Amino acid sequence: MKYEIRKREDGKKAIFDENGKQISDWFDYISSEGLVGGESEYYVAKKDGKEAIFDVNGNMITKEWFDSVGKAGLVKGQSMYYVASKGKKDAIFDRYGNRISQWFDNISFVGLIKGESKYYIARNGLEEAIFDVNGNQISEWFSYIHPDGLVRGECDYYIGCNKGSCAVYYKSGKKVSEDFSGKYVEFYHRMTFNENLGELKIKSFGGIVKSIDFNPVYPFKENLIDYTKLLNT
């Protein structure tokens, strides 16, 4: 089924299906992402300066009207989560309208919201930290955390920076590398972690800018069987 947004003379908008049936109320604004764009069965609508998410049947998914609702995540069909803002604070909600995070100054769409991992980066004031889907704080507070690696669902490591100095950390919060200059992180194209070799490659559009060695963490190493010893017994 295809959908389109139609506009009345008074500027109000509503969604109609391909048969000409109106499937939404008239609103001040309706997002073209989501239902209309064929990405999901959800859409964002605005009324009296507030926003909410609705589904294809006209059900209001958010439990209240917010100052704004991010289209990344649920509306774009990337995950079952979305970020809503109220009073200059952000929080994450699931498709049932349940809040699953604290209120923060800012929450990045990278990671959990985009369906890349169970982690997200949240900022309060001048610091940010990594949290998981259950609200557990995974990292300490940093001035900057790079999303490549753990947050993007690529590996179990991430880069945390403070005062122009950065290091590689394991998901447990353990620091596994020496400090290196934040200038390599600031002007990057891509961060690539090799968990087996313990190597971080920082790439620009022109190639590899910096290679950083780190100590890999093998959480189940003590449970591995040394078959060479077994063969010699």
| Residue 126 tokens, joined | 């001048």
Task: Examine the fold and report which residue of 130, 158, 174 is the final residue of a domain before the chain moves on.
Answer: 130
CA Rg, the chain, in Å?
22
| Residue 156 tokens, joined | 């179990």
Number of separate domains in the chain: 2
Same domain for 169 and 107? no
| Predicted local confidence at residue 231, as pLDDT | 45
Cβ atoms of 214 and 200 within 8 Å: the answer is: yes
| Predicted local confidence at residue 157, as pLDDT | 96
Cβ atoms of 33 and 75 within 8 Å: the answer is: yes
Same domain for 32 and 99? yes
Same domain for 46 and 22? yes
- Read off φ and ψ for residue 184, nearest 5 degrees: -70, -30
Question: Closest Cα to residue 65, out of 45, 44, 51?
Answer: 51
Same domain for 32 and 147? no
Same domain for 24 and 96? yes
Contacts of 134 (CB under 8 A, 6+ apart): 100
Same domain for 148 and 214? yes
pTM higher than 0.75: yes
Same domain for 54 and 150? no
In a domain, 137, yes or no: no
Task: Give the DSSP H or E segment for 166.
Answer: strand 165-170
| Predicted local confidence at residue 181, as pLDDT | 85
Q: What is the C-alpha to C-alpha distance for residues 28 and 216, in angstroms, rounded to an integer?
A: 53
Same domain for 29 and 56? yes
Q: What is the C-alpha to C-alpha distance for residues 215 and 175, in angstroms, rounded to an integer?
A: 9
Q: Which domain holds residue 105?
A: 1-130
Same domain for 106 and 150? no
Task: Examine the fold and report which residue of 104, 130, 156 is the final residue of a domain before the chain moves on.
Answer: 130
Same domain for 80 and 175? no
| Predicted local confidence at residue 202, as pLDDT | 87
In a domain, 37, yes or no: yes
| Residue 181 tokens, joined | 């200059």
What phi-psi label fits residue 116: left (phi over 0), alpha (psi between -120 and 50 degrees) or beta?
alpha
Same domain for 125 and 18? yes
Walk along the chain (233 residues) and give the pLDDT tens digit of each residue. Answer: 999 999 999 999 999 999 999 999 999 999 999 999 999 999 999 999 999 999 999 999 999 999 999 999 999 999 999 999 999 999 999 999 999 999 999 999 999 999 999 999 999 999 999 999 999 999 999 999 999 999 999 999 999 999 889 999 999 999 999 998 887 777 677 889 998 889 999 887 677 678 899 999 875 544 444 444 444 44
- Read off φ and ψ for residue 209, nearest 5 degrees: -90, -40
Same domain for 166 and 102? no
Q: What is the C-alpha to C-alpha distance for residues 26 and 15, in angstroms, rounded to an integer?
A: 8
In a domain, 79, yes or no: yes
Task: Examine the fold and report which residue of 80, 107, 130 is the final residue of a domain before the chain moves on.
Answer: 130
